[in-house]
Amino acid sequence: MKKLINTADSVVSDALNGMAAAHPSLRIRDQVVYRAEGPRPGKVGLVSGGGSGHEPLHAGFVGYGMLDAACPGEIFTSPVPDQIIDATKAVDGGAGVLHIVKNYTGDVLNFEMAAELTEDVEVVSVLVDDDVAVQDSLYTAGRRGTGATLFVEKIAGALAEEGAPLAAVAAVASEVDERSRSFGIALTSCTTPHAGKPTFDLPETEVELGIGIHGEPGRARVPLVPARELAGIAMEAIHGDLPLRGDLLVMVNGMGGTPLMELYVAFAEVAAYVEGKGARVSRSLVGNYVTSLDMQGFSVTICLLDDTLTRLWDAPVETPGLRWGR
């Protein structure tokens, strides 16, 4: 195992120091990443977080039009309530705070505890549980939260930026989760710095269907087949759960170790599948957004758009991991 790190113990704080050095738009304090300019009076604050190792999620999505703060835990480990309490207090501009929580048992518990312990701030939580692969899993009661987290953060962040009240921001976040589905496929395992060896063994000729973003087991292992068939498997799982129709937001996401060229190969197949169902790729993202350290593989996340969600997706965003202005 070769890692570009100093020590396994310091990797999260070393990486945060690098983020602070690279992005003057961020301020980092007590392992919480904030917008440097602080809260805007009257704007709903957005806080998310989770284990590290999924970068750019979440810290890379702090900035105008997305999150106000992110709480990174240690690698694949939930943030502690103190981080979340600090973040929640610090980003409140008087309009309350939305917690965006991926559905993992540890995250859910710690965000719940933090919400209860944060006095004088109105907090609403939204759970993201978009992964259709398995009903329960190693770290989860119910479906896992994966790629749709980015969609929720972007779209709720845009509505918050417009000055909408907490209830409306929470409602659109829930709506995005309900309209989104994901499915991931691993070609290789990932290796955490502390373990120093792959989280699981995957034979040289097989792939894992329905992989989680921490290497949790999926539905099945099958022999490696061409990208067209892998994309088809992912899309059948999604379409079988939420039939594709109308305008879609489509993300083909790399798990961290897959070349961009291969993600575009997969995207071409996903787009062909969508067209075959009579739906339309209206907006898209291709790249490494919700990763699992050095894992090779990809996931597909689909959201059924409407005019409002499309407008909020298109709204300007300025974060290290996602930025555009229109």
Binding site for its own copies (CB under 8 A): 1-7, 11-12, 14-19, 21-23, 52-53, 55-56, 60, 187-188, 204, 207, 224, 226-228, 230, 256-268, 271, 281, 284, 286, 288, 291, 293-294, 296-298, 318, 320, 323-325
What radius of gyration, in Å, describes the C-alpha atoms of the chain? 19
Q: End-to-end CA distance of the chain, in Å?
A: 43
- Which two tokens mark 130? 């978009």
The helix/strand/coil state of 74 is strand
Tokens of 187: 């070609």
Of the pair 170, 233, the CB lying nearest its own copies is at: 233
Write down the least CB distance from residue 86 to its own copies, Å.
Answer: 21
For 123, residues 6+ apart whose C-beta sits below 8 A from its C-beta are 88, 96, 97, 98, 99, 115
Q: Which of 23, 58, 99, 214 is catalytic?
A: 214
Closest distance between its own copies and the C-beta of residue 233, in Å? 12
Give the C-alpha separation, 278 to 273, whole Å. 9
Beta carbon nearer to its own copies, 85 or 186:
186
Nearer to its own copies (CB atom), residue 124 or residue 268: 268
What beta strand segments (E) does 225-305 contain? 247-254, 280-287, 297-304
239 noted as active-site residue: no
Cβ neighbours for 89, distance < 8 A, ≥ 6 positions apart? 118, 121
Of 23, 54, 99, 239, which is the active-site residue? Answer: 54
Q: Tokens 């995250």 belong to which residue?
A: 107
Is 214 one of the annotated active-site residues of the chain? yes
Decide whether 151 or 298 has the Cβ nearer to its own copies: 298
Q: How far is the CB of 70 from its own copies (least distance, A)?
A: 13
Least distance (Å) between residue 247 CB and its own copies: 13
Which residue has 């570009």 as its token pair? Answer: 4
Catalytic residues: 54, 214
